[in-house]
Amino acid sequence: MNYPHLTDISPTRAVVDSLLQNSGESFIRVNQPNVVLETIKQAENGNGIIIRLFESQRKRGEIEILTGFELSHAWRVNILEENLEEISVSNSTITYNISPYQILSFRLIPI
């Protein structure tokens, strides 16, 4: 059987716990129900966290990506995780416009 999200992430658990500092908050969430957060992973080069999300209901508009930790920087990246544009960060939130069925990837750099 295929259980892609059931995996042992023990080495990363310490990083997650230290970022959230047992605050009880979500690690990462999106404020719009039509946007699906599909992937959360460590960047291939070790520089930050990569998230991938997509719009699922043919809607466009502004979305907020909220993290349970403070961010120092964020970039929109391509599928090869190359930085395309720096995104403005406000504490633990980034804001971006999404188009219908668009797939977006971001690099998040915690403080």
Q: Is residue 4 part of a domain?
A: no
Q: Is residue 70 part of a domain?
A: yes
Residue 58's CATH number = 2.60.40.2220
Amino acid at 106: F
Based on its alpha-carbon atoms, the radius of gyration of the chain, rounded to whole angstroms, reads 14
Q: Is residue 1 part of a domain?
A: no
Q: How many domains would you assign to the chain?
A: 1
Q: What pLDDT shows up at residue 5?
A: 47
Query: By residue range, what is the domain housing residue 34?
Result: 25-110
Q: Compute mean pLDDT per 10 residues along the chain, 111 residues long, and list them.
A: 44 52 76 96 94 96 94 96 96 95 96 88
Query: Of 86, 77, 76, 95, which Cα lies nearest the Cα of 32?
Result: 95
Q: Is residue 100 part of a domain?
A: yes
Angle formed at CA 70 by CA 11 and CA 95, multiple of 5 degrees:
115
And the tokens for 42? Answer: 């460590």
**pTM above the 0.75 mark?**
yes
